[in-house]
Amino acid sequence: MIIRLGSRGSRLALTQAELAAEALRQANPGLDVALVPITTTGDRDRSKPFGEIGARGVFVKEIEEALLEGRVDVAIHSAKDMTSTATDGLAIGAFLAREDARDALCGAGELRPGMRIGTASARRKAQLLALEPRLSIEPLRGNVDTRLRKRGERGLDAVVLAAAGLDRLGLANEIGHRFDADQLVPEAGQGAVALQVRQGEEELVAFADHSETRRRVSAERACVAHIGGGCLAPVAAHHDGEALTALIAAEDGSWVERRRGDDPVALANELLAAVP
């Protein structure tokens, strides 16, 4: 039996797909797993801001289409790239054990007034400016290697990337500082890899599911879904194992609202009510 895993073609995406493949092989020795690289909308256009090429989901749409059309059997995603609501006909059959969900500052060990920092994330921009209003936040897109290279080419003081991706690529030495999750609240699902299947075929990957990661990421996704955050909305949610922290902010960092609790919907409603 051959299981085809659909994934983006970047080095990080294929590294994560291989982690998923290994989890499947461990449970089914002798299983034949094939990786199928797929180019997404977000991969094709690496210059425009996310808002100009589509909402959240620009890195998953084509992979989901391949899954629905039967061209692949399992879609492998960074959970943070997925829409917060389920796609009709599809289900998340498993989450691999989550790695470091935090954001990482690369190129410097701390934030300083006047620094030029690269990021395309409205969530990161809002929280960075709330921490230090005198920062200059510059748009920066591309895969991990590209963004690290562009930091030097453009003379930026630092870039902010997901720590988990750097760790998986063996690039932890690029990290000058890992932000505490209550300092820079991570994207819902950050650090987790999701294995998506067609509805009714969850048993194909269910044995690879890490239940604690599912519990935490499901709460984060539920909160963001209720808020209605899209890719450009400065919205964040992170469950640390004890409780959920959720955030909504102005993109310029002029106001930030955080709430912490156990009920994703209640937190979302509190945040929506607090928006100026």
pLDDT in tens, the chain (276 residues): 799 999 999 999 999 999 999 999 998 888 899 999 998 876 665 555 544 434 557 789 999 999 999 999 999 999 999 988 889 999 999 999 999 999 999 999 999 999 999 999 999 999 999 999 999 999 998 999 999 999 999 999 999 999 999 999 999 999 999 999 999 999 999 999 999 999 999 999 999 999 999 999 999 999 999 998 544 568 999 999 999 999 999 999 999 999 999 999 999 999 999 988
Catalytic hit among 81, 100, 103, 252: 81
Active site residue 180: no
- Taken in order of first residue, the domains within the chain and their CATH numbers are 103-178 (3.40.190.10)
Neighbours of 105 (CB within 10 A): 24
Neighbours of 223 (CB within 10 A): 31
d(CA 103, CA 100): 9
